[in-house]
Amino acid sequence: MTRYSSNVWPGKHAPLGATWDGQGVNFAIFSEHAERVELCLFDATTNSQTESINLTENTDWVWHCYLPGAGPDLLYGYRVYGPYAPEQGHRFNGNKLLLDPYAKSIVGDLHWSDKHFGYRIGDEQEDLSFDERDNADQMPKSRVIDSIFDWGDDTPPNTPWHDTVIYELHVKGFTQLHPYLPQHLRGTYLALAEPQVIDYLKDLGVTAVELMPIHTFIDDRTLVDQGLRNYWGYNSINYFAPDSRYAANRPVTDLKVAIKTLHEAGIEVIIDVVYNHTAEGNHMGPTLSYRGIDNSAYYRLVPGDERYCMDYTGTGNTLNMMHPRVLQMIMDSLRYWVNEMHVDGFRFDLCSALARELHEVDRLGAFFDIIHQDPVLSGVKLIAEPWDLGEGGYQVGNFPPGWTEWNGKYRDAIRDYWSGKGGSIAELATRLTGSSDLYFSDGRRPYASINLITAHDGFTLHDLVSYNEKKNEANKEDNQDGEDHNRSWNCGVEGPTDDPEILALRERQKRNLLTTLFLSQGVPMLVAGDERGRSQGGNNNAYCQDNEISWLKWDLSGADQELFEFCKRLIAFRKRHPSFRRRHFFEGDAVNNNGVKDIFWLNPNGVEMTQDEWQHTHARSLGIGLPGQGIRDVDNRGEPVIDDDFLMLLNADREEVTFTLPQILDIKTWTLALSTYDPHSPAEPFSATDEYTVPEHSLILLQHKRSP
C-alpha cells in the first residue's frame, strides 16, 4: 500500500479542493479559525483510515499540501481542530471526519448514529457538551477524480428564452418505472440518455429539462428512522459532487454522458440548486462538513448570541453569503457546473435567502452583482424561486435584470380562475399577458415570468382537479405538513370516483389549465407526469416518498393517453405561433401606425371591456383578441413578425356563455383551433358575424389564418 505521509510537499492554496494534475494531488481547504487541520486518507476496500497528514501550510486561511504520486479514486476526509465554544460560534471537533466542501465526488452512505454530532446527545448541557467519539467508519468519503471527458463538439442549444418550454423532473422518479429501460439504468443519470427517454422528450416538445437537486444530499435522520427518505433532495451537503445514488457507474461521468446526449437532441439542462442552507441543520444538527470546518464563517449566526443559527429557510440554518469565502464557494460551484459539467442554467431554491445582506432582502446584494458581471454565469439561464421563509421574503417581481422568476402570482391567479372564483378576471388578464406589473419597470421582458400551474411542491395537475384537501398521511406527520390552501377544486367529489360526469369535468379542467399555461406570455414550466395524469393520491408534500407515490407511471389509460396527445398539440401549436411567445409586453394601442391594436379585451357581447366590468365580482368569462399584425417584434433578419389572428374565449362559469364575435377586426371567417370542451372538434370555418357558445368550464381558441 502506498504511503504518502513520508513525502508531502507544501502544495498551493488554490484551487480549493483536491486537484489531480497527472503526477499528484493538491489538497486545499479553507478555515479561518482552525488551529490545526489533518488530511485523512482511506482504503477504498476496507473503509479504514490508512494515513493522517498534518497540513502545516496555511496561506490566506487556506490549509494545503501536495501528495506526489497520489491520483484518482483516492478517498479522503478532513479533521479540523480549533476551539469548541458554541457561545462564540465555534464548533470544532477533531473527532469528526468531515467532507471536503469542494469534493467533486462523494462515495458511500451516511450511516446515522449519535457519533455524527459534535456534542453528547442526551447530555444535560446539550450542544454545549463535547463528544469524543470518532465517526469516520459511518461517514461517506470524498474522492479524487479524473475530470477528463470527451465532450466532442458539444455545444449548448442556447434556446432563446421566449422559445423555451421547461420540463421539471426528478432524475430517479422519471425513469424508475420505465418498462423499456434496462433494469440497472432505471432511475439513473444514464437513463436520461437512453433513446426511449430522449424520444419521449422530443415528441412532447419540451426544450429544457430542469432537474430537481442532484448535488450530494443527506437523508434526514428523522426520516430514516421512520423508513422514509429525503426524496426531493433539498438537503445538500456538497455543491460540486453529483449525488451518487443516481449513478449506474460513476456519477460525474454518467451525468456528463446524459448532458451531452440531451444537448445532441437540442434539449437544455437546468439544475435546481440549494445554496441557501445545508443538511447540517440548526445548532443541534450533526457535524458533517461546514460546521466542523468553520461554523462561524459558513453559517449566519444570531448576532450577539452566536450559539444559534439564523434560519430564513425553515431548515435550521442559512449559509453566510456575507463571508467572501462562502460567496466564493457558491460562485466556484456555479462556474464548475457550467464549465466542467456543461449545464445550461440554474433554478435557485429559496433565492431570497441569498440576497439577505443583513436582515432585509437586498435585491442588489453582492451575490447578484457578482453574477451579473461574471462572463460565464451572466450568459446562462438564471431562475429564482423568489421567496424564503423570513420576514419580507416574498420577492416576486423584485429580482434584478438578467433573472427570471417562478411566478407564484401566475400560479395562484390561474388556479383561482379555473376553480370558479369570481372577481379574478383582472388578475387573470395581467398574468396571461406576461405580468408586466412585475417585470416591465426594470426593463425585463415577458419571459422573465416562469409560468407554472404546478411544481414538485404541491398537488400534481391531476390531484389539483381531484382533491380539495391534502392527503399526506403517508408522510407520518399526522397530515400536519404541506400547504392547506391549495386553490384546488375536486369538481364535486373528493378523490377517486367512477362518476363519468365528474371524470369528464376533471379531464376538461386539466385541459383548461394546460391550455392557459401554453397560451400565456412568458415561459411555461410543465411538471413531469402532468401531461399524462400522474397522481400522488392527494399528497401535496411528497418530499419523503421515494416510492410509487412519487414515481412516474408509464402505462397510460385511455384518458391519460388523450391528455398526452393534447399536451403535445398545445406545445407544437405554441411553437408555430409567435403570438403566444412574444418578446415584448402588450401596450394596448395601435402598432406601427397601422391602426391595429396589439390586444383587445372583450366581454361576451363582443365589445371591449369597460373599466367597471373589470371589477365585477361575478365575472367568470373573458374574450381576448390577438391581431396577427399587432406583434411588436422582428425576426433575426429584422423583418416584422406576423402571425394569424386569434380570439381566445374563456368561460370558468358553471353555465355556458354565448359570445357575440367582435367586429373590431376585418375578419370574415373564423376557424376553431382549440377546444378544451371537445379536443376532437373539427376545425371547420364559420362566419365572423355569428355567435359562439362556449360551454361551461372550457376555453375556445378561434383562428383566422393570414396569407403568408
DSSP codes joined into one string, 302-326: -TT-TTSB--SSSSS--B-TTSHHH
Whether residue 626 contacts residue 651, with contact meaning beta carbons closer than 8 Å, is answered with no
Question: What CATH number is associated with residue 633?
Answer: 2.60.40.1180
Q: Which residues of the chain have pLDDT under 70?
A: 1, 357-364, 590-595, 707-708
Is 224 contained in some domain? no
> Grid coordinates standing for 669?
371567417
> Rounded distance, CA 301 to CA 291, Å?
12
Bridge partners of 272?
347
- Residue 384 is predicted with a pLDDT of 94
Tell me which amino acid residue 121 is. I
- Residue 632 is predicted with a pLDDT of 80
Q: Which residues are catalytic?
A: 349, 385
CA neighbor of 130 nearest in space, from 145, 140, 120, 116: 120
Place of cell 409586453: 585
Structural domain ending residue among the three candidates 143, 178, 197: 143
- Residue 591 is predicted with a pLDDT of 57
Is 488 contained in some domain? no
CA neighbor of 486 nearest in space, from 500, 472, 475: 472
Tell me which amino acid residue 217 is. F
Whether residue 573 contacts residue 673, with contact meaning beta carbons closer than 8 Å, is answered with yes
- Residue 412 is predicted with a pLDDT of 96
CA neighbor of 120 nearest in space, from 129, 112, 111: 129
> Rounded distance, CA 451 to CA 520, Å?
8
Structural domain range at position 132? 17-143
Tell me which amino acid residue 21 is. D
How many other C-beta atoms lie within 10 A of the C-beta of residue 136? Answer: 18
> Rounded distance, CA 234 to CA 275, Å?
10
> Grid coordinates standing for 491?
369538481
Whether residue 417 contacts residue 430, with contact meaning beta carbons closer than 8 Å, is answered with no
- Residue 594 is predicted with a pLDDT of 60
What is residue 93's DSSP assignment?
A: -
Is 622 contained in some domain? yes
Is 668 contained in some domain? yes
Residue 140 CA: distances (Å) to CA of 127, 136, 670: 23, 8, 65
Q: Which helix (H) or strand (E) holds 198?
A: helix 195-204
Q: Check: pTM over 0.95? Answer yes or no.
A: yes
Is 526 contained in some domain? no
> Rounded distance, CA 136 to CA 43, Å?
12
How far from the centroid of its chain's Cα atoms is residue 294's Cα? 29
- Residue 395 is predicted with a pLDDT of 85
What is residue 396's DSSP assignment?
A: T
- Residue 565 is predicted with a pLDDT of 97
Whether residue 71 contacts residue 29, with contact meaning beta carbons closer than 8 Å, is answered with no
- Residue 457 is predicted with a pLDDT of 97
To the nearest 5 percent, what fractions of the chain are helix, strand and coil? 25, 20, 55
How far from the centroid of its chain's Cα atoms is residue 546's Cα? 18
Strands 404-406 and 381-384: parallel
Q: Specify the number of domains making up the chain.
A: 2
Is 99 contained in some domain? yes
> Rounded distance, CA 231 to CA 549, Å?
11
With H, G, I as helix, E, B as strand and everything else as coil, classify residue 102: coil
Tens of pLDDT, residue by residue over 76-119, are 999 999 999 999 999 999 999 999 999 999 999 999 999 999 99
DSSP codes joined into one string, 564-613: HHHHHHHHHHHHH-GGGS-SS---SSBSTTSS-BS-EEE-TTSSBPPTTG
Whether residue 111 contacts residue 89, with contact meaning beta carbons closer than 8 Å, is answered with no
Angle at 677 between CA 537 and CA 174, to 5 degrees: 35
SS (H, E, C) 19-55: EECCCEEEEEEECCCCCEEEEEEECCCCCCEEEEEEC
Structural domain ending residue among the three candidates 143, 160, 177: 143
Question: What CATH number is associated with residue 103?
Answer: 2.60.40.10
Is 23 contained in some domain? yes
Structural domain ending residue among the three candidates 112, 143, 174: 143
CA neighbor of 412 nearest in space, from 398, 393, 430: 430
- Residue 24 is predicted with a pLDDT of 98
Is 53 contained in some domain? yes
